[in-house]
């Protein structure tokens, strides 16, 4: 199982990513050097959206689509869940 997720950073920016383990990845973003550089200076971050996918290909396509969305469209996506 793969997950596409969106994090809200301390500065209210949004970050999208993909993982197989949401809990581990959130912990990495919040307190490890394994988190993204983008989130490392915007801690703490919180999970605001996650969706499950059966395979990496589908998840990667959705992540790419989300990253192209405007902030307003990402917020709409988050509020739908």
pLDDT band at 81 (very low <50, low <70, confident <90, very high): confident
Three-class SS of residue 61?
Answer: helix
Q: What is the pLDDT of residues 17-48, one digit of tens each?
A: 999 999 999 999 999 988 999 999 999 999 99
Alpha carbon distance 52, 49 (integer Å): 10
CATH 3.40.1440.10 assigned to domain 2-80? The reply is yes
pTM exceeds 0.85 for this model: yes
- The mean pLDDT value for 58-70 works out to 98
Three-class SS of residue 28?
Answer: helix
- The mean pLDDT value for 46-58 works out to 98
Alpha carbon distance 64, 53 (integer Å): 14
Domains of the chain by residue range: 2-80
Alpha carbon distance 63, 6 (integer Å): 9
């Amino acid at each position: 199982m793969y997950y596409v997720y969106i994090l809200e950073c301390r500065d209210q920016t949004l970050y999208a990513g993909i993982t197989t383990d949401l809990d581990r990845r959130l912990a990495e973003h919040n307190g490890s050097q394994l988190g993204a550089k983008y989130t490392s200076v915007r801690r703490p971050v919180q999970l605001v959206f996650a969706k499950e996918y059966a395979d990496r290909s589908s998840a990667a396509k959705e992540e790419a689509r989300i990253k192209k969305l405007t902030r307003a469209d990402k917020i709409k996506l988050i509020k739908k869940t």
